[in-house]
Structure 1
Amino acid sequence: MNIIETIKRFPDQSSCIDYLEGLRWQGLPECPYCNSKRSSKRQESQRHICNSCNRSYSVLVGTVFEGTKLPLPQWFLAISLMLNAKKGLSARQLSRDLGCNRKTGWYLQMRIREAMRDGGDGGLFKGIVEVDETYLGGKKANHSKKKRQERRDNNLQVTGMQDKQPVIGLLERDGRLKLQVIDKAHGKTLKPIVEQSVSTDATIVTDGFGGYAGLNKIFREHQVLNKEKEEYARGEYHTNTIEGFWTLLKRGIYGQYHKVSLRHLQSYLNEFTFKYNNRGNNQVFNFLINKTATAS
C-alpha cells in the first residue's frame, strides 16, 4: 500500500480503531484482562467496559500502540513509509515526514521493527540453502581518537574484520531469509545456527570458509565453492543471492542509518529480513498491521 492509499484509507483515529478491532476481534470484543466477551462500548472514547471485571479497555491494549500519544494515522503512515523504503528510512527522515521530533520517529521505528521480528513459524529451510557471513562496521580510520590512542598505547594492530560485527545469513533459494548477529565468525557459533534453522534433507552452499567445515556430515549435501580459485558457481549451486542481499543491506546501514549500535543491530536486521521475506506479498501492509495488533 502506497502513501496516498494509506492516507485515504485511514484519514482519522476512528477509522484506524475500527480497522484494528476488525482484525483483532472480528466484531466480538474480548477483555484483555479477564478474556470475557461481554462488554459495552463508550462511543465517545471508543473504549469498552467489561461486564465481568468492570475494567475499561481499548483494542490498543497489548499491542505496540498501547500507551502511545501519537495519533494512529501517523503510526499507519510510518508503517507504510518503512515498508516502501527498500534500503531503509532514517529516524530523522521519518520524523520530517510525520512532523514529529527525531526521538519520536526512532521510537516508532523500534516498535514497528519489534512487530517485524520473525517468530520462526515458517519451519526449517529446505531445498538449496545459501549460507554466508558478512561484517558490519566503520573503518578503523573513522574510530574515535580515544579508541585509536588506546590501540597505540597497547600496541594493538587490528587487521581484517576483527574490528567489525559479524552477521550470518541463511537464504532459502526463492524463499525465506534469516539474519542473526553473532559474537565471532567461527564454527562454534556458525554451525549451531545452521543446524537449528535448516532441514537435514537440504543442500547447503557456502564458500570455503573453515567455519562451515563438517556440515556435510549433518546435511544431505554441502557444496563448497572455492572462490580463491574464482569458482563462484557450480551449476545451480552459488551464493550470488545472499551476496546480492549483503549489498542491499550495507547500502541501507551505511547510506541511510550511517551508524547502528550493536545493541539494536538485530532489530534493524529484522526489518530487512521482514521486507525481503514479504517481497512478493501484496498484502504486506495488512499483514504487518495484524502483527502489530498482537505484539506488545
Structure 2
Amino acid sequence: MLPSPSESNIIEVFTKFPDQETCISYLEHIRWQNEPICPYCESKKNTKRKGTIRYQCNSCNRSYSVLVGTIFEDTKLSLNKWFFAIALILNAKKGLSSLQLARDIGVNRKTGWYLQMRIRKAMDEGNDTDLFNGIIEIDETYIGGAKGNHSKGKRQDRRDSGRNITGMQHKQPVIGLLERDGRLKLQVLEKAHGKTIKPIIQQTVSPDASLVTDGFGGYAGLDKHYKEHQVLNKNKEEYARGQYHTNTIEGFWTLLKRGIYGQYHKVSIKHLQAYLNEFTFRYNHKDSKTNFDILITKMILP
C-alpha cells in the first residue's frame, strides 16, 4: 500500500507508480480486490483482452476496464501523472497553483487546472452523515477580506455581505464548523444570516454537542437546539472562556486565506466551494497515513 505523501518523499510516490501498468494494478486492487466485476451487469465472469487493460464480460458481452464510471474514464493523460498530481496536492498545505502543478508534472496550464478540479471533486466530503460531537467551534469568514483591523473589518464585511463594493473585491461569506480534535466542514453562504447558517449547523452537529461562537446575531437561538452554546463577546476582548474558544477555526482561516491569496491569488465564487473542499479534505485527513488511498478510493468507486 502506498505511503501517504505527508509521510514519505514525493519522489517515492512517483517511483512507486512509474507506468500505466502499476497504476492500473493498484486501481484494480482498490476497486475490485483484484477480482474484476463488470460495471454493466456486475458479473464476475470475464476474459482478459490480451495486450490491453480491458476485460470482456462473458455474461453481457460488453468490454470494460477498471476506469469505467470513474473520474479517470476517457482521460488522455497517463495515470502515473494523475497519481503524481494527487500526491503533490495532498502534500501542499497551502494549496498548489495550476501553473506550478503543470510545471511539476509536465503538462500545460489548462490540463493542470482540469486535473485540480477533478481531484477537488473527489475531495468533497459532503456525504458524511456522522454528526459532529463534543466541542464545536463555529465561525464565519469572508473570502476577499477587508484590510486593516480584523474585528472591525469582519463587522463591515457582515454588513456588506453579498454586494459588490466600489473599489473593493467582492466578498463571499463562508461558514466553518470545526469539531475539536476532529473534522472540519466549510460551506459557501449566499448571505451570512441565521436563515442560511442555522440549517447547516443543525444538519452537521449533534444536539448533544457544545457550540462555541462569537456574538454574531446569526447564531442567536442555537441554545434551544443544543446541549450548550457558549457565546464569546469579542467586542469586549473575550476570546476564551476556559476550554471554550474559537482559536482553532480562526487559525485555520489564516491558513486558508494564505493559500487562496498566496497560491491562487483569486478564486471565483463559482469554484470557491471546490477550493474549500480541497482544504477540508487535507485538514480532515492530516493525521492519516492512508490519505492517498482514501482519495483514490473516492475517485475510483462510482
Unmatched 5+ stretches in structure 1: 141-155
- Corresponding letter in the other structure for 1:3: I
Displacement of 1:163 = 3.6
Take 1:234 and 1:164, find their aligned partners in 2: how far apart are those partners?
30
Output aligned runs, 1:132-211, within 5 Å: 132-137=139-144, 158=165, 163-211=170-218
SS in 1 for 2:206: coil
Q: Find the partner of 1:107 among 97, 105, 114.
A: 114
Please give the TM-score of this superposition, normalised by the length of structure 1: 0.91
Per the alignment, residue 61 of structure 1 pairs with 68
| Structure 1 residues 162 and 219: alpha-carbon distance in aligned structure 2, compared to 1, 3 A threshold | farther
Q: Find the partner of 1:259 among 256, 263, 266.
A: 266
How many pairs are equivalent?
Answer: 279
Displacement of 1:126 = 0.3
| Structure 1 residues 49 and 6: alpha-carbon distance in aligned structure 2, compared to 1, 3 A threshold | same
Per the alignment, residue 222 of structure 2 pairs with 215
Take 2:165 and 2:19, find their aligned partners in 1: how far apart are those partners?
54
Take 1:199 and 1:242, find their aligned partners in 2: how far apart are those partners?
18
SS in 1 for 2:279: helix
Per the alignment, residue 83 of structure 1 pairs with 90
Q: Find the partner of 1:127 among 130, 134, 145.
A: 134
- The question of whether the paired residues in 1 share the 8 Å contact of 2:48 and 2:55 is answered with yes
Per the alignment, residue 277 of structure 1 pairs with 284
Take 1:128 and 1:108, find their aligned partners in 2: how far apart are those partners?
36
Displacement of 1:273 = 0.2
| Structure 1 residues 191 and 262: alpha-carbon distance in aligned structure 2, compared to 1, 3 A threshold | same
Q: Find the partner of 1:72 among 64, 75, 79.
A: 79
* Pair 1:23-2:20 in alignment: no
* Pair 1:234-2:228 in alignment: no
Identity %: 70
Take 2:279 and 2:82, find their aligned partners in 1: how far apart are those partners?
19
- Corresponding letter in the other structure for 1:59: V
- Corresponding letter in the other structure for 1:177: L
1:5-43 deviations in whole A, cap 9, x for unaligned?
112210100000001001111121011111111101123
Take 1:69 and 1:244, find their aligned partners in 2: how far apart are those partners?
40
Point out the more displaced range, 84-93 or 280-289.
Answer: 280-289
SS in 2 for 1:269: helix
SS in 1 for 2:289: coil
Per the alignment, residue 244 of structure 1 pairs with 251
| Structure 1 residues 121 and 138: alpha-carbon distance in aligned structure 2, compared to 1, 3 A threshold | closer
CA RMSD between the two structures: 1.8
1:110-131 deviations in whole A, cap 9, x for unaligned?
1111111104335101010000
- The question of whether the paired residues in 1 share the 8 Å contact of 2:188 and 2:273 is answered with yes
Take 1:208 and 1:119, find their aligned partners in 2: how far apart are those partners?
27
Displacement of 1:290 = 1.4
1:126-153 deviations in whole A, cap 9, x for unaligned?
010000000002679xxxxxxxxxxxxx
Take 2:138 and 2:34, find their aligned partners in 1: how far apart are those partners?
45
Take 1:134 and 1:92, find their aligned partners in 2: how far apart are those partners?
27
Hey, which bits of structure 1, 4+ residues long, moved more than 3 A?
Answer: 156-159
Displacement of 1:162 = 9.7
SS in 2 for 1:93: helix
- The question of whether the paired residues in 1 share the 8 Å contact of 2:144 and 2:169 is answered with no
Take 2:137 and 2:106, find their aligned partners in 1: how far apart are those partners?
42
Unmatched 5+ stretches in structure 2: 148-162
